């Protein structure tokens, strides 16, 4: 799914707490754009005696759109500082490739749905 549009994705609000090297904490509020592929159910036995183990559901993260970043005494909101927000979006999206288990946990363990509701897509 290359060159996806916003309307083709499901969107999920998420907040990160991010510690800087100077021990200041940032709160990053963002929306995550992802594609969801439902898993296949297992089949214990076909009529010929074989079976199918099934497959797990998968979510692929395609976009991170930051709504705001705030520190102890300041806040940056979209669209006031597009360069800063674009850097953070690429940084957070890059984390997807480093540790896919983080995103798997976020999408499936924390939010625990069988599959997303297609009503959240823009048509």
What is the domain count for the chain? 1
Pair 57, 78: CB distance under 8 Å:
no
Containing structural domain, residue 50: 6-115
Pair 8, 121: CB distance under 8 Å:
yes
For residues 43-62, average pLDDT: 82
Query: Would 123 be classed as within a structural domain?
Result: no
Query: Would 121 be classed as within a structural domain?
Result: no
CA 55 to chain centroid, in Å, comes to 20
Q: How would DSSP label each residue in 31-81? A: EEEEEEEPPBPPBS--TTS--B--B--EEEEEEEEEEEEE-SS-EEETTT-
109 pLDDT above the threshold of 70: no
For residues 42-66, average pLDDT: 83
**Per-residue pLDDT tens digits for 87-108:** 888 887 776 666 656 666 666 6
Query: Would 1 be classed as within a structural domain?
Result: no
23: region left, alpha or beta (phi > 0 left; psi from -120 to 50 alpha): left
Query: Would 120 be classed as within a structural domain?
Result: no
Q: What is the pTM of this model?
A: 0.64
């Amino acid at each position: 799914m290359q060159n996806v549009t916003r309307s083709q994705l499901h969107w999920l609000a998420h907040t990160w707490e991010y510690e800087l090297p100077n021990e200041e904490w940032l709160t990053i509020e963002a929306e995550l754009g992802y594609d969801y592929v439902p898993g296949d159910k297992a089949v214990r036995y076909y009529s010929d005696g074989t079976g199918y183990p099934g497959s797990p559901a998968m979510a692929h993260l395609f976009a991170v759109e930051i709504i705001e970043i705030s520190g102890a005494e300041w806040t940056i909101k979209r669209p006031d500082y597009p360069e800063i927000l674009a850097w953070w979006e690429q940084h957070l999206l890059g984390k997807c490739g480093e540790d896919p288990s983080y995103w798997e946990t976020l999408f499936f363990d924390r939010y625990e749905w069988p599959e997303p509701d297609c009503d959240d897509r823009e048509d």
